Amino acid sequence: MDRISSSNSLSTPRFRCFDPTNSYPDHTTNHKHYIRTFSNSSFNNNSHSNSTPEMGLLINSDPKIETGEAGYVLEDIPHLSDYLNHLPTHPNPLQDNPSYSAVKQYFVDVDDTVAHKVVVQKNGPRGTHFRRAGPRQKVYFQSDEVHACIVTCGGLCPGLNTVIREIVCGLHHMYGVNTVLGIEGGYKGFYSRNTIPLTPKIVNDIHKRGGTILGTSRGGHDKSKIVDSIQDRGINQVYIIGGDGTQKGVSVIFEEIRRRGLKVAVAGIPKTIDNDIPVIDKSFGFDTAVEEAQRAINAAHVEAESFENCIGLVKLMGRHSGFIAMHATLASRDVDCCLIPESPFYLEGPGGLFEYIKRRLKENGHMVIVVAEGAGQENLSENTRSINQQDASGNKLLKDVGLWLTQKIKDHFSTQQNININLKYIDPTYMIRAVPSNASDNVSCTLLAQSAVHGAMAGYTGFTVGPVNGRHAYIPFHRINEKQNKVVITDRMWARLLCSTNQPSFLNAADSFEDDHEENETEIHAENGESEPNGYNGQSLIS
């Protein structure tokens, strides 16, 4: 099906969930489906930057919050009608799409929200909620007026091409949009590279390839040049795929677009192979990364079993969060020790890594160690000149813990223990990033892309989309950018790993007390409706 069918082509209306009594009026002065609380400080009387009388523009940068009964909190997202008055609305073309004619209740109700935490206590507050993703009965863009663009930023991740494909196909097949541009080379491509047209035919097979057909880069957050390019090209929907640094850039771009009073919907799609973005259940590409990591672990295990006193050492991705290492270890069951950034470890002395290695080699004759790239950086900084260098995205450049640990193990056992060690070091990090996404991630990418398209067409802007407790939701940028999702080493998931590997926890009593104190603070903040400290999100990956 190349084009969306018109209602004239159908003998009788078959889209059962369209309810005109629940739709928006033809002209909506403000998107007030929720009563929001605004502080006086959120309005600035500086007319040249915050209000344009001819456009009816009024800037409000404060989070859109609504509170309700039983401790209900809605953290809403911006809408074009928040700062542009008298925007016309149009019936959603999906009501005439034969593919959805048999779907019941396909449109999302205006009051549908998704709970941040699925587990609550009987007498506790209902907690934070986010607006549920999905198609609305009324849209704020006509199909022929949409000029969309897609850009990928940051490092590679399995599934990037799938997201690109599904945005293009979703816009075309569901909403009849024919003008979609690909911005080449990341943010810098807005003002220094050419664009490429994207059609369903062009993107048909790209999900079978790794990487991104648009190219990518780090940095390039020149908001003025980017928004100038958006204006000059007549773009009115922007889809930006990238990690935490990219999402911060999306937020800045959105604020500049809002300041200028442009009818441009900005949607962010979070991408990180490390799964370190807060709030959402899981980022796309993570399942593929864990699956590919197991291949490397299996190779290390085969090598280790084949030689006397052999250690297979695998370095996996995870700059600040050890989710890939943890889940790959639990999935493989061949790992004897897993080292992650959240759990500091030490080498020498009772309970140290060297003592554990010696014991495992004596018991089994071999062992497998998995280390996340961000683990043990505090140990490396003590032995090397620590220079706080950063890449173009603002990420701190890490020392190579794999090579450092390899040399430390060899030196210790050859000089102090007089034991001949065979050590096989495997670093599959860039191989994992470059593979196509697996079946599970392909489905996730499809849902993410379509949810972003539905949100932009409905006039929402300045949001990122992701699964929250199994339901896709629109999440404000400040929640995505406020912290990083991290493994909680005093939680049951990490305890399961310790049981699987039988490794020492490397925790002393003081560390354990400190983590318990942090967890208590988390509970106190949650009861007060505040965000959790220290990157804890208390959801799906930590059960």
What pLDDT digit, counting tens, does each position of 342-357 carry? 999 999 888 899 999 9
* 19 in catalytic set: no
Q: In terms of residue numbers, what domain contains 215? A: 141-281+436-466+477-481
Statement to judge: residues 220 and 341 lie in one domain: no
Percent of the chain scoring above 90 in pLDDT: 63
Residue 272 known to bind ligand: yes
Residue 318 known to bind ligand: yes
76, 462 Cβ separation under 8 angstroms: no
Confidence band for 247, pLDDT divided at 50, 70 and 90: confident
Confidence band for 4, pLDDT divided at 50, 70 and 90: very low
**Per-residue exposure over 57-90, b if at least 16 CB sit within 10 Å of its own CB, e if not:** bbbbeebbbbeeeeebbbbbbbbbbbbbeebebe
Residue 3 known to bind ligand: no
Residue 430 known to bind ligand: yes
237 - beta bridge partners? 148, 265
Q: What is the pLDDT of residue 216?
A: 93
Residue 170 known to bind ligand: no
Q: Give CA angle at 433 (276, 463), nearest 5°.
A: 45
Residues sharing a CB contact under 8 Å with residue 40, sequence separation 6 or more, in sequence order: none
Statement to judge: residues 87 and 204 lie in one domain: no
Q: Is the dihedral of CA 377, 381, 385, 389 positive or negative?
A: positive
Residue 205 known to bind ligand: no
Question: Of 5-19, 413-427, 430-444, which range is least confident?
Answer: 5-19
**Long-range pairs of 508-513 with CB within 8 A, sequence gap ≥ 24:** 511/344
Statement to judge: residues 104 and 170 lie in one domain: no
DSSP assignment of 423-453: EEEE--HHHHHHSPP-HHHHHHHHHHHHHHH
65 - beta bridge partners? 37, 75
pLDDT at 391 over 70: no
Residue 427 known to bind ligand: no
Confidence band for 389, pLDDT divided at 50, 70 and 90: low
**How many Å apart are CA 456 and CA 279, to the nearest integer?**
21
Confidence band for 394, pLDDT divided at 50, 70 and 90: low
Backbone angles phi, psi at 252, to 5 degrees: -65, -40
Q: What is the pLDDT of residue 63?
A: 84
Average pLDDT, the chain: 82
Which of 76, 96, 222, 274 is catalytic? The answer is: 274
Q: What is the pLDDT of residue 534?
A: 37
Q: What is the mean pLDDT of residues 353-366?
A: 94
Q: Which residue has the tokens 């950063």?
A: 390
Strands 180-183 and 148-152: parallel
Backbone angles phi, psi at 195, to 5 degrees: -105, 160
- How far is CA 209 from each of CA 156, 171, 195, 225, 442, rounded to the nearest angstrom? 12, 21, 20, 31, 12
pLDDT at 23 over 60: no
Check residues 298 and 535 and name the one with the higher pLDDT. 298
Q: What is the mean pLDDT of residues 40-48?
A: 34
Domain boundary among 113, 132, 151: 132
Q: What is the pLDDT of residue 393?
A: 54
Q: What is the pLDDT of residue 510?
A: 45
Statement to judge: residues 274 and 297 lie in one domain: no
Does 51 fall in a domain?
no
Confidence band for 540, pLDDT divided at 50, 70 and 90: very low
pLDDT at 36 over 70: no
- The backbone region for 48, taken as left when phi is positive above 0, alpha when psi lies in -120 to 50, beta otherwise, is alpha
Q: What is the pLDDT of residue 431?
A: 92
- How far is CA 13 from each of CA 105, 136, 198, rounded to the nearest angstrom? 15, 18, 32
Statement to judge: residues 338 and 417 lie in one domain: yes
Question: Of 27-36, 107-116, 136-145, 240-249, which range is least confident?
Answer: 27-36
Which secondary structure element, helix H or strand E, spans residue 175, and what is its range? helix 160-175
119-123, 387-391, 448-452, range with greatest mean pLDDT = 448-452
Q: What is the mean pLDDT of residues 299-312?
A: 95
Does 126 fall in a domain?
yes
Does 71 fall in a domain?
yes
What's the pTM value of the predicted model, to 2 decimals?
0.81
Does 273 fall in a domain?
yes
Q: Is the dihedral of CA 536, 115, 460, 205 positive or negative?
A: positive
Residue 244 known to bind ligand: yes
pLDDT at 13 over 50: no
Does 38 fall in a domain?
no
**Residue 330 belongs to a domain with what CATH number?**
3.40.50.460
Statement to judge: residues 241 and 292 lie in one domain: no
In a 3-state reduction of DSSP, which class is residue 495?
A: helix
Statement to judge: residues 164 and 252 lie in one domain: yes
Does 153 fall in a domain?
yes
pLDDT at 163 over 80: yes
Residue 152 known to bind ligand: no
Statement to judge: residues 77 and 205 lie in one domain: no
Percent of the chain scoring above 70 in pLDDT: 79
300, 424 Cβ separation under 8 angstroms: yes
Statement to judge: residues 127 and 164 lie in one domain: no
Q: What is the mean pLDDT of residues 280-287?
A: 94
Residue 273 known to bind ligand: yes
Number of domains the chain is built from: 3
Does 334 fall in a domain?
yes
Does 202 fall in a domain?
yes
Q: What is the mean pLDDT of residues 334-343?
A: 96
Statement to judge: residues 168 and 83 lie in one domain: no
Q: What is the pLDDT of residue 298?
A: 97
In a 3-state reduction of DSSP, which class is residue 96?
A: helix
Statement to judge: residues 197 and 299 lie in one domain: no
66, 37 Cβ separation under 8 angstroms: yes
**Residue 165 belongs to a domain with what CATH number?**
3.40.50.450
**How many Å apart are CA 167 and CA 198, to the nearest integer?**
10
Statement to judge: residues 82 and 110 lie in one domain: yes
DSSP assignment of 301-342: HHHHHHSTTEEEEEEE--SS--HHHHHHHHHH---SEEE-TT
